[in-house]
Structure formats: C-alpha cells, structure tokens
Amino acid sequence: MLFVNRCTWVHILLEVERVLGMPQEELLTPEELAVFDGKASPEGVIF
C-alpha cells in the first residue's frame, strides 16, 4: 500500500529532488527510476 499511496522512501526522494531542482538520476538508480516510470515492478527494487 505504501507504493500505491506514494509513501515510500523513493517517493520522498523524488519530492526532495523536485523541490531542490535536482535531476532524478542524482539520487536514484536506473532500476529505481524504471519502477516509477511504470517499466519495472517495485518488488525487490523498492521493497
């Protein structure tokens, strides 16, 4: 439910990056970004 409700640690990092104007690639791996682009399952990457 945390992923669905956008309450995971990665969601927090994405928001911090947005507020600070940082590129997403600076704090997240390509695998983590693929999850949030809907190209990969969060199983094993986020949880």
Give the start-to-end residue ranges of the domains of the chain: 1-47
pLDDT confidence of residue 42 = 82
Q: Are the beta carbons of 20 and 27 closer than 8 angstroms?
A: no
pLDDT confidence of residue 31 = 92
> Counting Cβ atoms within 10 Å, is residue 32 exposed (0-12), middle (13-18) or buried (19+)?
buried
Q: Walk along the chain (47 residues) in steps of 10 and give the mean pLDDT of each run.
A: 74 91 91 87 77
pLDDT confidence of residue 19 = 96
